Amino acid sequence: MMVFAVISIAPNLSAADHDRAVAAGPPYAETEEDYSIMLAETAWRLLDRTDVTKTFADTVRRLVHQLESRAHEVIEVLGESDYDDFLDRKRRSLPAIDEGIVRRELFRAAAAVDVQS
């Protein structure tokens, strides 16, 4: 059994929305194939796929709030430039997450076949 979470770019977007999603998402969020296809191609059987994008958006909002309210402490650890960059990226990601063009999903998969050693 394997359980994992991904942040990905929603499928079937216009070119403009796709570009916005790629810019707002984390590095490597864009994939050539859907995760369900990649699992099937690598001998995994998809059991569950759960969209947790709304919860993810709420989490990012709380993170932004905490970063803002504890700016002094975070700047001491990250430095001002890295803090500003990190906070800016999180703020810019929220509209794309809220619109569902950047999404967060949980996957549960099992080996498609038993492997004998």
Helical residues (DSSP H) of 25-100, grouped into ranges: 35-41, 53-69, 71-78, 80-99
Amino acid 81: pLDDT? 98
- The answer to whether residue 58 sits within a structural domain is yes
- The answer to whether residue 117 sits within a structural domain is no
Domain of 18, in residue numbers: 2-111
Interval 53-90: pLDDT, tens: 999 999 999 999 999 999 999 999 999 999 999 999 99
- The answer to whether residue 116 sits within a structural domain is no
- State the CATH number of the domain containing residue 76: 3.40.50.150
pTM: 0.86
Count of domains forming the chain: 1
Specify the DSSP class assigned to residue 12. Answer: S
Q: Strand 2-9 and strand 102-111: pairing?
A: antiparallel
Q: Strand 2-9 and strand 44-51: pairing?
A: unpaired
- The answer to whether residue 82 sits within a structural domain is yes
Interval 35-61: pLDDT, tens: 999 999 999 999 999 999 999 999 999
Amino acid 117: pLDDT? 43
Cβ contacts of 71 within 8 Å, gap of 6 or more? 83
- The answer to whether residue 42 sits within a structural domain is yes
